[in-house]
Amino acid sequence: MNPTRNEALVAWMDEHGHSSNSLAEAVNRALEQLTGRTGGLDGSSVRDWKAGRVQWPKSATRRALEAVSGLPATALGFVPRGRASSTQAALQEDPDMKRRTLVGGLAAAAAAAAAPGNAGRRRIGMNDVNRLQQRFAEVVASDHRYGGQRGIEQHAAALADEALNLQNAGSATQRVRNSLYGCAASFRSSAMWAAIDGRRYADAKAHMREAQALAEMSGDQAIKFRIWSHAGAMYRHIGRPGEAFAANDVARSLHITRRDPMFASLGLARQAAIHGVAHDRTGTCRALDQAQDALQRMDSEAHRPVWLLAFYDQAELNSLALSAFLALGDYATAESHAHRCLATLRPHMRRSHAITTTRLAHAQLAQGDLESAATTAMHVPGDAATEHARVSRMLQEFGAALRARAPRSSIAQTWTEHTRDAWKVST
C-alpha cells in the first residue's frame, strides 16, 4: 500500500512558512534543548514525514516537534504504530471540517443521549476525551498565534460546555468522568487566559471561578496549577501584587511542583514577576535564580500537558524576567533579558514575540535610546499592534512617553506617521 501524504503537517508548515530544511533545523535545536544532544534531522527527514513514509517519529523527535509547533504529534497528522488507517484518514481532514464535525458531533451525541428513551444507550470513553484533548491543543496553538481575542475566549468556553454535555450523554467510568471535568476545566482556563490577555478582567474572573470548580471535580493537579497560576498573572497585570502572591502561592503549593521541576520553575518565574510589581528586587532575583535552577533540573523525558510544553522554556523565563525588571526600573537588565528571550522564542509564539518586542522598546526608551526604541517598536506586526489589547496598550504608552521626551523630534514624527500609515493597513 502506498503511504498517505501527511496533509496536516504540510498545511501547518505552509501556515508557518517552514520549508523542509527550516523545520528540520528548528526540530534539531529543540532536540538539543530537550536532550542535550544535537539532532541529526535534515530536509529529507521532513520530506519523509510529509510523504507519509514515516508515520510515527521516534519519541524524542516527537517531543521536539511538539515543542516547536505547540501541537501534539497526532494533531500534525502522525499516527501511532498499530492505529487503523481510518484514523489516519480522519486526521488528514481539513481542520475547519474537523472542528465542525467534532463540535457538531459532540452536541448531537449529547442531544441524542438525552432524548426520551435513549438515556444510557451510549458509552462515553477515553476516545471522546482524546478528541477533546486534541481540540484543546488547537485552542492553545491559536492562543499563541493570536492571543487575547474574544473569539478564542468564546470558542474555548463553548468547548468547555461541550465537555460538560458529555457527562449527561451516556454512561462512563469514574476515570472518564474525571477526565471530562479536566477537559472542561482546561477549556475554561483557556477562556480565562484569553480574557486576561485581552484585558477583559471581569470576564476572566467569571471564567476563573468556573474553572476552579471544574478542576476540583477533576482532581487534575496540572490544570489546578494552570488556573491558579493564571489567577496570579491576572492580579499582577491589574497591579494587585498581594492577591497575585496569594493565587500564585496556591499553584506553587500543589504536589505537582514538588514532583516536576518544570512546574516549580514556572511558578517561581511568575513569582519573580510579581516581586517586580511589588518593587522587591531581592525577592525578584532570588525567585529567578531558583526558577533557573529548577528549569535546569527538569527531566526532559517526563510526560507533561501540552499547554505547558507549548510555551514554557528558557525564552519564557527570560520574558518573565524582562517583565520583572521593567517593573523594578532596571531597564538595562530588562533589555538584556528581552534580547535573550527573542533569540530563543519558538516560531509559533507570535503573541509572545510581539509582547517582548514592545517591552524591549520601552526598556530602550527609558534608557534614552530613542532611535533604537522607535525602530524596535516599529517591528511589532500591525495585526498585533491593533488587535491585541495588551500590545496596543503598551504601544500607546510607548508613543506617549516618546512624545513626552522629544515632542518635536523627527523620531516622534516618524513614529506618529508609522502608527497612522502602517497600522491603518492592518485595521
Instruction: Say which residues have a Cβ less than 8 Å from residue 203's Cβ, sequence separation at least 6.
Output: 153, 195
Indicate the average pLDDT of the chain. Answer: 85
Instruction: Please tell me what DSSP assigns to residue 168.
Output: T
Distance CA 299, CA 261 (A): 8
Distance CA 316, CA 288 (A): 12
Instruction: Say which residues have a Cβ less than 8 Å from residue 105's Cβ, sequence separation at least 6.
Output: none
Block residue for cell numbers 526604541:
373
pTM of the full structure: 0.71
Q: Radius of gyration of the chain from Cα atoms?
A: 22
pLDDT band at 2 (very low <50, low <70, confident <90, very high): low
Fold of 1-80: 434 Repressor (Amino-terminal Domain) (1.10.260)
Q: Which three cell numbers stand for residue 279?
A: 518593587
Chain center to CA of 255? 23
Per-residue pLDDT reduced to its tens digit, 189-237:
999 999 999 899 999 999 999 999 999 999 999 999 999 999 999 999 9
Task: Check residue 316 and give its pLDDT.
Answer: 96
Instruction: Say which residues have a Cβ less than 8 Å from residue 372's Cβ, sequence separation at least 6.
Output: 364
Residue ranges of the domains in the chain?
1-80, 94-113+122-219, 240-341, 349-427
Distance CA 279, CA 427 (A): 37
Q: Which of 33, 40, 39, 72 is nearest to 315 (CA)?
A: 33
Distance CA 397, CA 321 (A): 20
Instruction: Say which residues have a Cβ less than 8 Å from residue 286's Cβ, sequence separation at least 6.
Output: none
More reliable by pLDDT, 346 or 37: 346
How many of the other CB atoms lie within 10 Å of CB of 408? 7
b/e map of 223-240 (b: 16 or more CB within 10 Å)? bbbbbbbbbbbbbbbeee
Task: Check residue 64 and give its pLDDT.
Answer: 82
pLDDT band at 87 (very low <50, low <70, confident <90, very high): very low
DSSP helix, strand, coil percent of the chain (3-state; round to 5): 75, 0, 25
Q: List the beta strands (DSSP E) in 26-108.
A: none
- The phi, psi pair for 241, rounded to 5°, reads -65, -30
Q: How many residues does the chain have?
A: 427
Distance CA 301, CA 121 (A): 40
Distance CA 7, CA 76 (A): 9
User: For the residues 329-355, what does the mean pLDDT come to?
Assistant: 93
Task: Check residue 145 and give its pLDDT.
Answer: 77
- How far is CA 371 from each of CA 50, 289, 354, rounded to the nearest angstrom? 45, 33, 19
Task: Check residue 423 and give its pLDDT.
Answer: 65
User: For the residues 393-399, what does the mean pLDDT come to?
Assistant: 93
Distance CA 185, CA 181 (A): 6
pLDDT band at 90 (very low <50, low <70, confident <90, very high): very low
